[in-house]
């Protein structure tokens, strides 16, 4: 059996086929030889082409992550997603403040402790604006807590998982912290 690596679902399919004792080779589409001008693509033509290339030994197999690697990758992806959510939540708050002509004091960086103190000192007369402002702050706090929770698990994995020795070794390089090493 042959499967082209197109997305993350290939890993699950690969593991299923191996568990059923079916031989399976995963290759990257970029490593599949192509002839110039061969642009017509159908499942039948693709299957025949792949079968011929496999028989001729022209395909290069790629490493397929096991469940531990995939779980760690998902954890790092979740942190990346949470970081993007935090940036969006902060941007929404800044845009709200700008719409009401409110700017943080000179020299105060967004997201800093001083910035949060300044935000906590703001008061809005209209209840609707107070609610919106509090919701934006709540969204930032919520995502920040998610980030802390995910980073705590990344720290735990960096210390105790099967990947811990590699993660610890990578951290010995200058500029490589725990999250980067885990990634």
Q: Which of 97, 108, 178, 161 is nearest to 132 (CA)?
A: 97
Encoded tokens for 32: 């599949």
Per-residue pLDDT of the chain (183 residues; tens, 9 = 90+): 444 444 567 777 888 888 888 888 888 777 777 777 677 678 888 888 888 888 888 888 888 888 888 889 999 999 999 999 999 999 999 999 999 999 999 999 988 999 999 999 999 999 999 999 999 999 999 999 999 999 999 999 999 999 999 999 999 999 999 999 998
In the prediction, which pLDDT does 2 show?
Answer: 42
User: Does the predicted model carry a pTM greater than 0.95?
Assistant: no
Phi-psi group of 14: left, alpha or beta (phi > 0 → left; psi -120 to 50 → alpha; rest → beta): alpha
């Amino acid at each position: 059996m042959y499967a082209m690596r197109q997305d993350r679902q290939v890993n699950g399919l690969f593991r299923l086929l191996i568990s059923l004792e079916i031989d399976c080779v995963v290759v990257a589409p970029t490593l599949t030889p192509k002839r110039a001008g061969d642009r017509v693509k159908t499942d039948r033509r693709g299957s025949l082409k792949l079968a011929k290339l496999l028989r001729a030994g022209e395909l290069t197999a790629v490493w397929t992550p096991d469940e531990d690697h995939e779980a760690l990758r998902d954890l790092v992806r979740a942190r990346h997603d949470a970081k993007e959510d935090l940036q969006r939540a902060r941007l929404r708050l800044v845009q709200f403040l700008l719409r009401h002509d409110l700017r943080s004091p000179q020299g105060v960086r967004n997201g800093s402790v001083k910035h949060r103190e300044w935000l906590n000192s703001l008061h809005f007369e209209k209840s609707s604006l107070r609610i919106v402002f509090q919701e934006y702050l709540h969204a930032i706090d919520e995502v920040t807590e998610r980030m802390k929770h995910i980073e705590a698990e990344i720290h735990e994995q960096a210390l105790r998982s099967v990947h811990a020795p590699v993660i610890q070794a990578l951290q010995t390089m200058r500029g490589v912290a725990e999250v980067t090493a885990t990634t």
